[in-house]
Amino acid sequence: MKSSDFFPYLYEQPVEDDQKILIEDRHQALNKSEVIQLVQTVQYNLKKITNGIAGCRVGFSSDNTVLSIVLEMTLVHMGITFVPLSPSLSLKNLTEICKEYEIEYLFIDSAEQAPDLKAEEIFQICSMKSLLSQQPAVFQTALQQNEINELFPAYILLTSGSTGKPKATAISYRNLLTFVDNAIQLFQFTAKDRFASISRLTFDLSLFDIFISQKCGAYLYILSAPSETFNPYPTFINKQIGVALLVPSASRLITAILKGRMVAQHSLQKIFFCGELLYYEDLLFWKAHASLPMKCINLYGPTETTVAFSYFDCSSAEGQQSGPVPIGSPFPGQAFGFQEISNSALYELQLIGSQVSDFGYLKPKSEMKFQRDNQINRFMSGDLVEKYGDQILWRSRADNQVKILGHRVDLDGLSIKLFTATRVVGHFLLDPEQKFLICFIVDPETDIESLFERIQSEFLPYEMPRRIIKIDEFPLGPHGKVSKSKLRQILERGG
C-alpha cells in the first residue's frame, strides 16, 4: 500500500494556473499547491519535534480544524496513527487518555499550560503552532510516495459512549482505504463534487468528508456542527454545496429552525444520513427545497466497521413515504450475518468483511464481539434488526432495554412505535427511581393529552409513559446525536 492511495493529488505535479480551492473554512482557503506546502511544513516540524517519528501514535486536540485536517493528512502520508481528541476535554482528561492509549505526542492549542506534564516523560505535549514554526528550505511541487503497512493502525477513535462506556477502536490503513474506495465506487464521487463537513473530527463521519473529498481532489468546506445558534443551511446555498452527511437529529434541528420561513433552494445532489434511525419524513424538507435532482442515502455502520458498512438509496423506494428507512445492502466485499434472538422476530446483526476493524477495541478488550477466522473479520454489532420482505430495518440496541413491572422494554422500539402511530419523534427514559417511563417530544403542535389518548390503544400497559415532556428541542451531544445524559439533566432540573 502506498501513501498516494489516499490523497493522489499530493503526489501529482501541479497543472499550470491550477488555483482550485480544495479545503476552506471561514478563516482560510487552501488550493492544491498550498495544501502540498502545508503538508510539507507540518511533516518537517513533526520530524524535528519527534526526532524522526516512526511507528508512534499522535494525538491532537485543537479548535483549528483546517490545521488538524492537514495534520491528519500528513500523518497518513507518513503512515503514522492519528488520534483526534475533543478540544473541550480538560488537560487532566487528555493526560489520562494519552497514558491509557499510549499516545506518544499530543498537540494542543496552548501547550504552555502544561509545563509540569512534560517532566513526566511519558508523552510529550506540544503546541499546534509548533507544526508551523519552521519551513523546509525548499518546497517540492509534489510529495514523494511512502510505503504504508496496511495492517498498521491509521487512527484510533474513542466512541461517544452513547451505548455505554466509551471504547477506543483502532482502524487499520487497510480498513480505511477499503471504505474510501467502496464509497467512491458506489456513489460515483468525482473532483467536481463540493463537500461540506459539519462533523467534529472526533466523530468518524468526519472521515467520510475528509478522506473521500481529498482522494477525489474535490472541494471541502468546513462548518461547525448544527446547534441552536448555528444553522449551516445558508452556507450550503452560498458555497453551492453538493454533498453533505448529516446525523438525522442534526437534520431535524436544521429543518425545525427553518420551519415557517421563506427558504431558498439548495444545490445538494447527494445527501447522506448516518448515526441514528432515519425516517422517510426526515427527507421531505430536503426534497421540497432541492434545485437539482437529488439522491437521499441512508448509511448504517458502527465505528468498529469504518464509518459506514451498508447503504440504502431512498430513491429506490419512492412509493414508501412513511416510517423507518431500511439500512440497505452491505458495501462491496462486506456481508451481513444474522443471529436469531429467542422468542423474537428480531436478529442481532453480525458484520463481516475487510471494513471490520483489524484490531477490535484497544480497551476494554472484547473478544466476544470480534472474531477473525480465515483472515475474515466479524463483529457482533449489538444492533437488533427485523427482516421486512427483502429489506432490513434497524429496530434497537441490545443494550438499550430496561425492566418495568417485570417486563423487559425496548426503549428504541418504543420510539419507533410512537412515531409509527402518531408521526411524533420521541425519546424514552426511565425515571430517576427506575419505576416508570418518561417520553420527551419537541413537536410544538402536539397536544400532550391527545397524544396520550392516541397511543393508549397501541402501547401495552407497562409501555405507557407516566409523563410526556415537551421541550423546545432535543439536546444534542458532540456528535450531533440526541444526548440521553442531557435529557436526564432536564429531569434532574425538574423538567
Contacts of residue 9, Cβ cutoff 8 Å, sequence gap at least 6? 22, 32, 214, 217
Mean pLDDT of 127-136: 92
384 and 421 part of one domain = no
Whichever domain contains 474, its CATH number is: 3.30.300.30
pLDDT digit string, tens, across residues 230-271: 889 999 999 999 999 999 999 999 998 888 788 999 999 999
pLDDT score for 113:
53
- Give the model confidence (pLDDT) of 411-435 as tens digits: 888 999 999 889 899 999 888 777 7
Q: Which three cell numbers stand for residue 98?
A: 494519552
Residues 313 and 443 in one domain: no
CATH of the domain at 284: 3.40.50.12780
For the whole model, what pTM was predicted? 0.89
Task: Give residue 52's pLDDT.
Answer: 67
pLDDT number for residue 14: 75
- Across the range 475-480, mean pLDDT stands at 81
Residue 158 within any structural domain of the chain: no
What's phi and psi for 249, nearest 5 deg? -65, -35
Domain annotation covers residue 4: no
Query: Which residue, of 119, 148, 177, is where some domain finishes?
Result: 148
Whether residues 407 and 355 fall in one domain:
no
Domains held by the chain: number: 3
Query: Would the pLDDT of 59 be above 50?
Result: yes
Asked if 441 and 342 sit in the same domain, the reply is no
On whether both 41 and 144 belong to a single domain, the answer is: yes
Q: Please determine, for residue 119, whether its predicted confidence score (pLDDT) is greater than 50.
A: no
Does 65 share its domain with 137?
yes
Do 202 and 321 share a structural domain? yes
Looking at residue 25, its pLDDT comes to 93
Q: Is residue 479 part of a domain?
A: yes
197 and 59, same domain (yes or no):
no
Report residue 84 as a C-alpha cell: 483526534
Q: What is the pLDDT of residues 154-201, one digit of tens each?
A: 999 987 655 445 678 899 999 999 999 999 999 999 999 999 999 999
AA letter at 335: A
Q: What is the pLDDT of residue 150?
A: 93
In a domain, 349, yes or no: yes
Segments forming the whole domain that contains residue 248 = 164-398
Single residue among 374, 398, 422 that ends a domain in this structure: 398
266 and 171 in a common domain = yes
- My answer on whether 432 and 318 are in the same domain is no
Mean per-residue pLDDT, 198-223: 95
Average pLDDT score, the chain: 88
CA distances 465 to 270, 404, 452, 456, 492, Å, are 38, 11, 9, 10, 17
Average pLDDT rounded to a whole number, residues 46-59: 82
Q: Pick the range with the lowest mean pLDDT from 52-56, 199-203, 303-307, 332-336.
A: 52-56
Residue 111 in this model has a pLDDT that exceeds 70? no
Say what angle helices 65-78 and 32-50 make with each other, to 10 degrees: 70
- Choosing from 148, 172, 202, the residue where a domain stops is 148
Of 114-118, 285-289, 367-371, 476-480, which one has max mean pLDDT?
Answer: 285-289
Distance between CA atoms of 294 and 286, rounded to whole angstroms? 9
pLDDT at residue 367 tops 70: no
- Flag whether 265 is in a domain: yes
- Written as one string, the DSSP assignment of 252-300 is HHHHHHHTTS--PPB--SEEEE-SS--BGGGGHHHHHTBSS--EEEEEE
User: What cell numbers appear for 338 in the block?
Assistant: 444474522
Looking at residues 40-64, what average pLDDT do you find? 87
Examine residue 8 and state whether it is found in any structural domain, yes or no: no
Cell, residue 129: 503552532
Q: What CATH number is attached to the domain comprising 46?
A: 3.40.50.980
Same domain for 223 and 339?
Answer: yes
Do 120 and 45 sit in the same domain of this protein?
A: yes
Rounded to 5°, the CA angle 47-205-319 comes to 155
Decide if 10 is inside a domain: no
Indicate whether 240 belongs to any domain: yes
DSSP string, 296-318: EEEEE--GGGSS-SEEEEGGGGT
Q: How confident is the model at residue 99 (pLDDT cuts 50, 70, 90)?
A: confident
Q: Which of 83, 76, 117 is nearest to 102 (CA)?
A: 83
Q: What is the mean pLDDT of residues 362-390?
A: 80
